[in-house]
Structure 1
Amino acid sequence: MPLKVAFVHNFGYIGLYINLNIMAKGSIFGTLSGKIGNVVVYERNGKQIVRSNPKQRDPKTPAQLAHRLKFSLANKGLSPLNNVIKIGFKNSEKSYRKLVGEAYHNAIIGEYPNFSMDYSRIQVAEGKVQLPSNIQMSYEEGSNIVGFIWDTQIADTAINSRPDDHVNIVCLNSIFLAEMHTFNISKRSDGKAFFELPIGWKPEDLNFWIFITSYDLSENSDSIYLSISHSQPS
């Protein structure tokens, strides 16, 4: 739609109709330059140029910047766990998107712009199968083997829980944002499992989760978080 531009010239007040982004040669009225509203008028190579200069529609206030950074961290931090989450929450209404929302609200810590992800607040599985009690982790300095032990006793009130349930271990390197897991690494009745780390992975960068899958693969337990620096579960 044509835009009406008004200006004052030596010959008096003149009303012009011009189209945005149209180049027009100089006229007898002289050369225009400057800004009129959202329109910029200037001369280049002997031609009169008129172009639009839209207002900034994205002001990026501090609150908006903080929101975007938190959301980006939550999404980026959970992305390596996407496949694990699909298995861990297979019988739940929760989706990856919902878990990103929960991470945004509960697992992003610090003040803008120095946010970070607290993985101890992340759950990678959910269900009614009994999780073993007294899970402990051990790591010998200089090795690449992490050991896990747990109580094998099953409560009388436990739902769909048996000695031959599958033990699953998940490890996330928060520096490389790389994940590795071993499903069915052992049985509940074994009371122990050993997890081999990739070469170059430093223990202080690692986050672990354990969860149980029922013997018939139909249900999971909740997951529990552990780290080498804090061998007791969170």
Structure 2
Amino acid sequence: MSNLPGVKNLNFKIMAISRNGIHGWPSGKLGRVVYYMLRGQPVQRSIGKPGKPSLKQKANHESMAVVTHFLGHFKEYLNNGFELEARGTIRNQHNLAISYNKKNALKGEYPNVSIDYAKVQLSKGSLTNPESVGMKKVEGGLQISWNPLVQYEKGELYDDCLQLAVYLPERKAQIIELNFSKRGIGTAFLPVNEDKLESSMEVYLFLSAANHTSVSDTLYVGNLNGTWEKPGSRKCEENPVEDLGTNLRFEQVKEQYGLQMKLKPEDRLPRKAFNSLEKEYLVLMNRYESISRDRKNKPV
């Protein structure tokens, strides 16, 4: 029964109210729709149990799950990288990161969707990234380098902060270094445990202004120790960019390893550094040979 004055024998319940009159935005539930305010903006969502998902819906669910799981490793990093993009919108940093990477950083088809690491973006902005970025394994960690030239006319400053992220897919772990270094320094060392140093690594960075007024897009620095693929997964499509990156890295490591092998043992790199170089060389050599075999056996 209704509790409204003058209204009798009407069997309904008031579930939503409009604080601004009949033409105002309601708040609450009306039928199968819920109305509410989010960050100062009106939002409505349907509710109820969904039916049996179609193949397209299953593919969408898998894509969402893959991206959400991956980005879950970078919560603090995303808060910095997408904070400016989220300002003034009803979306938060994590929402924006999921939206971009779901559209642009996946490869494969359902049910074998995976992350395309080279296309991942963990930040979005207009600040320019440094040029000539490189990395190499050294004893005890990674040495990251870049061109320290500061182009003030482009809005760059000496103290722009470098934000570094390293993802280890086999371990499902990450290394996050906020304010890792400054643009004008040109180099920085990241300590990494010896066991992690031998794992497959995907390395990213972006820059943010010291006063937090601008950030850059994410720069994919590259892969170390070869691309890791989940055991039992099926490679659904070729990735020429990934293969090219592997080949280029193999040639670099092959040259470094060859030079070391020409030296007497006592004149080589320290033992740990040499062992790391040798292991990466062997991993990349196997990967290179695998790519070569696949291309050779591919039907014309």
State the TM-score, normalizing by the size of structure 1: 0.65
Separation (CA, whole Å) in 2 of partners of 1:87 and 1:125: 8
Kept after mapping to 2: 8 A contact 1:130/1:154: no
Query: Alignment partner for residue 150 of structure 1, among 136, 146, 152?
Result: 146
Match of 1:129 in 2: 127
Query: Alignment partner for residue 184 of structure 1, among 167, 179, 183?
Result: 179
Name stretches of at least 5 consecutive residues in structure 2 with no aligned partner.
Answer: 1-48, 225-244, 249-300
Aligned residues: 174
Structure 1 segment 73-88 matched on structure 2, within 5 A: 73-88=66-81
Give the match's secondary structure for 1:190: coil
Give the match's secondary structure for 2:195: coil
Match of 1:114 in 2: 112
Q: Give 1 or 2 for the bigger CA radius of gyration.
A: 1
Kept after mapping to 1: 8 A contact 2:77/2:178: no
Separation (CA, whole Å) in 2 of partners of 1:61 and 1:129: 42
Q: CA deviation at 1:202?
A: 5.3
Match of 1:139 in 2: 137
Give the match's secondary structure for 1:221: coil
Match of 1:227 in 2: 222
Kept after mapping to 1: 8 A contact 2:101/2:121: no
Which amino acid counterpart does residue 125 of structure 1 have in structure 2?
S
Separation (CA, whole Å) in 2 of partners of 1:108 and 1:228: 17
Give the match's secondary structure for 1:228: strand
Q: CA deviation at 1:224?
A: 0.4
Give the match's secondary structure for 1:225: strand
Structure 1 segment 209-224 matched on structure 2, within 5 A: 209-224=204-219
Separation (CA, whole Å) in 2 of partners of 1:68 and 1:150: 39
Query: Alignment partner for residue 59 of structure 1, among 52, 56, 71?
Result: 52
Q: CA deviation at 1:117?
A: 0.7
Separation (CA, whole Å) in 2 of partners of 1:199 and 1:115: 31
Q: CA deviation at 1:151?
A: 0.8
C-alpha root-mean-square deviation of aligned residues, in Å? 2.5
Structure with the bigger RCO (C-alpha within 8 Å, sep 6+) is: 1
Counterparts in 2 of 1:101 and 1:217: CA distance versus 1, 3 Å: closer
Per-residue Cα deviation, 1:121-169 (whole angstroms, up to 9, x for no partner):
11112223332111111124xx44111111111224211x221222221
Counterparts in 2 of 1:193 and 1:65: CA distance versus 1, 3 Å: same
Give the match's secondary structure for 1:172: strand
Per-residue Cα deviation, 1:93-137 (whole angstroms, up to 9, x for no partner):
363113212222221211221211112211112223332111111
Kept after mapping to 2: 8 A contact 1:168/1:185: yes
Counterparts in 2 of 1:215 and 1:120: CA distance versus 1, 3 Å: same
Which amino acid counterpart does residue 220 of structure 2 have in structure 1?
Y
Counterparts in 2 of 1:57 and 1:136: CA distance versus 1, 3 Å: closer
Give the match's secondary structure for 1:73: helix
Kept after mapping to 1: 8 A contact 2:150/2:157: yes
Kept after mapping to 2: 8 A contact 1:147/1:195: yes
Higher strand share: 1
Structure 1 runs, 4 residues or longer, greater than 6 Å off: none
Kept after mapping to 2: 8 A contact 1:204/1:228: no
Kept after mapping to 1: 8 A contact 2:141/2:193: no
Query: Alignment partner for residue 200 of structure 1, among 187, 195, 218?
Result: 195
Separation (CA, whole Å) in 2 of partners of 1:207 and 1:198: 16
Per-residue Cα deviation, 1:164-212 (whole angstroms, up to 9, x for no partner):
2222211122233322211222222211011122443255522111112
Kept after mapping to 1: 8 A contact 2:161/2:207: yes
Give the match's secondary structure for 1:92: helix
Q: CA deviation at 1:85?
A: 0.6
